[in-house]
């Protein structure tokens, strides 16, 4: 049997940093990444045969757990019929119908292969449909790694953003305005000064890329009003929250709290592919008709709507749309957060957690953070020690304090209890406890 360390060394020779997506490298928490050999239900096994209760779930997609029999069967069957045709298939239509059925704000979707692609295309569509260039995003929200979105706030509100990645020329992000999450004053001011130039405001409604931070209800409500008044489009990036926090996504959660609320454009990924490369963006028929081949906004993909990926997504959606699915998942996730909170309290460690549906987050601080700056100022040392303590005890949490966690339908009450027991043990050894 090979070891994680040996695989990591081998990987680093042929893959930069040994990984194909940076957070997998454990840079934030230190240590050796686990190379996963296989997974089943709520568990993953690494190359050394160690078992982990998995709270990453491929960063969200594995809402049914790994290897759900109905999903496996659908994928195997689809594979026998062919991997990819470069021509339309009935299954794409079915998946589009299924997504639309659960998300009343959209009438049409375009299927793509990654959340990055979906977010990038949604912005191009918003710009094409409005004839405007500027886009507004919020610090700490991740919308994929398209050039125009790899940007952080400049020094003054009205100044241009700065690229957060080398290789992105400043000119490419000059139309991207970056504001503080949950900051009403800033969004008011940007619309007051530049409202007529803004194509869209893009947001992670429950931000999972800064652990777990909800957009406050008055904030969402006001952005929707400002967009409406100024002819800008409100884009909900639900790549993480879509079909994860509720069947209708985060927008259904906000629609319950804000009568009549609906975003203009929605972006999906992760859960809709059930673990296969699949994502989508959707909106009204009127806006969608700007998209090629009907309109002048170009967008395409060799593997878009892939037959095996759509089979996986459809089989997943079929399971999660069964009555009571989200009630059970939400209750289980809540019990996990409550268990972790109780463990922290018993150890005298400051801790706060939150969850919606099958998505959760926690911070080593007393109050839920409301923006990125506060998230990044929470106790990293405690988080990292907690992460490794849990990993040593067979619990795989997200390896960075700015990432969310995910519970699947396959996690049992025993898995949650075992996780909480491990947490009680680890919390006691944390500094300050
Ligand atoms: C994961 C994620 C993306 C990017 O999706 P990829 O499939 O990794 O390209 C975009 N937006 C949000 C909110 C995400 O969580």
The SS3 call for residue 350 is coil
Can you give the pLDDT at residue 155?
Answer: 61
- Looking at residue 431, what is its pLDDT? 74
- Confidence at residue 153, expressed as pLDDT on a 0 to 100 scale: 78
Token reading at 326: 């989200």
**Alpha carbons 55 and 408: distance in angstroms, whole number:** 8
Query: For ligand 1, atom 5, which residue shows the shortest CA distance?
Result: 115
Q: Are 173 and 161 in contact (CB under 8 A)?
A: yes
Given a cut of 60, whether residue 357 has pLDDT beyond it is yes
**Ligand 1: does its nearest atom lie under 6 Å from the Cβ of 140?**
no
C-alpha 131: how far from chain center? 28
What positions carry a catalytic annotation? 142, 237, 270
Share of the chain above pLDDT 70, in %: 98
Instruction: Check if the beta carbon of residue 410 is closer than 8 Å to that of residue 48.
Output: no
Q: Please name the residue whose Cα sits nearest to atom 15 of ligand 1.
A: 240
23, 59, 143, 150: which to mutate for ligand 1, most atoms within 8 A of CB? 143
pLDDT, position 160: 64
How many angstroms separate the alpha carbon of residue 326 from the centre of ligand 1?
Answer: 22
Give the three-state DSSP class for 240: coil
* CATH 3.90.1150.10 boundaries in the chain: 4-67+323-427
By most ligand atoms within 8 Å of CB, the mutation choice from 112, 137, 144 for ligand 1 is 144
Write down the pLDDT at residue 161. 76
Q: Is the CB of 403 under 6 A from ligand 1?
A: no
Sign of CA dihedral 227, 233, 237, 241: positive
Predicted local distance difference test score (pLDDT) of residue 99: 98
Arithmetic mean of pLDDT, 346-353: 96
Please answer whether residues 207 and 220 qualify as being in contact, where contact means their C-beta atoms are separated by less than 8 angstroms: no
The secondary structure of the chain in percent helix, strand, coil, rounded to multiples of 5, reads 45, 20, 40
Does the domain at 4-67+323-427 match CATH 3.40.630.10? Answer given as: no
Q: Is the C-beta atom of 123 inside 6 A of ligand 1?
A: no
Residue 45 burial by Cβ neighbours in a 10 Å radius (0-12, 13-18, 19+): middle
The minimum-distance atom of ligand 1 relative to the CA of 117 is 9
Range 69-320: architecture per CATH: 3-Layer(aba) Sandwich (3.40)
Q: Is residue 174 within 8 Å of residue 158, measured between CB atoms?
A: no
Q: Mean per-residue pLDDT for 200-204?
A: 98
Find out whether the peptide bond into 135 is cis, omega within 30 degrees of 0.
Answer: no
Which ligand 1 atom lies nearest to the CA of residue 209? Answer: 15
Q: Is 143 near ligand 1, meaning CB less than 6 Å away?
A: yes
| pLDDT 10s digits, 363-409 | 999 999 999 999 999 999 999 999 999 999 999 999 999 999 999 99
Residues of the chain with CATH 3.40.640.10: 69-320
How is residue 32 annotated by DSSP? P
Distance CA 40, CA 57 (A): 11
Task: Give the nearest ligand 1 atom to 115 CA.
Answer: 5
Q: What is the DSSP letter of 216?
A: P
pLDDT score at 162: 87
Continuous segment of H or E residues that includes residue 360: strand 359-363
Q: In this structure, are residues 361 and 353 in contact, taking their beta carbons and an 8 Å threshold?
A: yes
Contact present, 83 and 303 (Cβ < 8 Å) = no
**Cα 360 to Cα 41: distance, rounded to the nearest angstrom:** 19
Distance from CA of residue 383 to its chain's centroid?
20
Q: Is 240 in the pocket of ligand 1 (CB under 6 A)?
A: yes
* Arithmetic mean of pLDDT, 228-248: 98
Ligand 1 pocket check for 205: Cβ under 6 Å: no
Round to whole Å and give the CA distance between 400 and 397. Answer: 9
Q: Ligand 1 centroid vs 116 CA: distance in angstroms?
A: 6
Residue 86: pLDDT over 80: yes
Q: How far is CA 240 from CA 4, 28, 79, 279, 408, in A?
A: 28, 21, 26, 11, 14
Cα gap 335→321, rounded to integer Å = 22
CA of 322 to the centre of ligand 1 (A): 26
Ligand 1 atom nearest 237 alpha carbon: 13
Question: What is the per-residue pLDDT across 119-175, written as a single tens digit (0 to 9) for each?
Answer: 999 999 999 999 999 999 999 999 999 999 999 876 655 456 789 999 999 999 999
- Atom from ligand 1 closest to the CA of residue 141: 13
Tell me if 407 sits within 8 A of 336, measured CB to CB: yes
* C-alpha of residue 51 to centroid of ligand 1, in Å: 27
Mean pLDDT of the chain: 96
How far does the centroid of ligand 1 lie from the alpha carbon of residue 241, in Å? Answer: 10
Residue 186 has pLDDT above 80, yes or no: yes
For 290-321, write each residue's pLDDT tens digit.
999 999 999 999 999 999 999 999 999 999 99
Which tokens hold the place of 188?
């008011």
DSSP letter for 86, please.
S
Confidence at residue 433, expressed as pLDDT on a 0 to 100 scale: 56
Beta strands in 180-320 (DSSP E): 198-203, 206-207, 213-214, 233-238, 265-268, 279-283
């Amino acid at each position: 049997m090979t070891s994680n360390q040996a695989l990591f060394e081998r990987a680093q020779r042929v893959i930069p940093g040994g990984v194909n997506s940076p957070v997998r490298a454990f840079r934030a928490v230190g240590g050796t990444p686990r190379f996963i050999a296989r997974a089943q239900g709520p568990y993953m096994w690494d190359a050394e045969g160690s078992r982990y209760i998995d709270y990453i779930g491929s960063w969200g997609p594995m809402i049914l757990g790994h290897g759900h029999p109905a999903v496996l069967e659908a994928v195997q069957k689809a594979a026998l019929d062919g991997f990819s045709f470069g021509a339309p298939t009935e299954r794409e239509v079915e998946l589009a119908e299924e997504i639309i059925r659960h998300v009343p704000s959209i009438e049409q979707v375009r299927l793509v292969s990654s959340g990055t692609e979906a977010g990038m295309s949604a912005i191009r569509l918003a710009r094409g449909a409005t004839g405007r260039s500027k886009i507004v995003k919020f610090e700490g929200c991740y919308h994929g790694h398209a050039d125009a979105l790899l940007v952080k706030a400049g020094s003054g509100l009205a100044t241009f953003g700065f690229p957060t990645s080398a290789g992105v020329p400043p000119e490419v992000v000059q139309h991207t305005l970056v504001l503080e999450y949950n900051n009403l004053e800033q969004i008011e001011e940007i619309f007051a000064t530049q409202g007529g130039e803004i194509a869209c405001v893009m947001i992670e409604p429950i931000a999972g890329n800064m652990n777990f931070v909800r957009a406050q209800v008055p904030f969402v409500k006001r952005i929707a009003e400002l967009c409406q008044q100024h002819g800008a489009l409100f884009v909900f990036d639900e790549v993480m929250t879509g079909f994860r926090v509720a069947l209708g996504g985060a927008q259904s959660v906000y629609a319950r709290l804000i009568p009549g609320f609906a975003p203009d454009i929605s972006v999906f990924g992760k859960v809709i592919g059930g673990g296969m490369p699949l994502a989508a963006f959707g909106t009204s028929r009127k806006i969608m008709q700007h998209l090629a081949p009907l309109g002048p906004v170009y967008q395409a993909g060799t593997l878009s709507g892939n037959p095996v990926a759509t089979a996986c997504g459809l089989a997943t959606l079929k399971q999660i749309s069964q009555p009571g699915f989200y009630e059970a998942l939400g209750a289980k996730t809540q019990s996990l957060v409550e268990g972790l909170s109780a463990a922290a309290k018993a150890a005298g460690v400051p801790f706060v957690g939150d969850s919606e549906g099958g998505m959760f987050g926690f911070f080593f601080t007393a109050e839920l953070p409301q923006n990125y700056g506060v998230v990044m100022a929470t106790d990293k040392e405690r988080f990292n020690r907690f992460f490794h303590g849990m990993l040593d005890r067979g619990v795989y949490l997200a390896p960075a304090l700015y990432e969310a966690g995910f519970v699947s339908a396959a996690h049992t009450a025993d898995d949650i209890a075992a996780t909480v027991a491990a947490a009680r043990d680890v919390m006691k050894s944390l500094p300050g406890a």
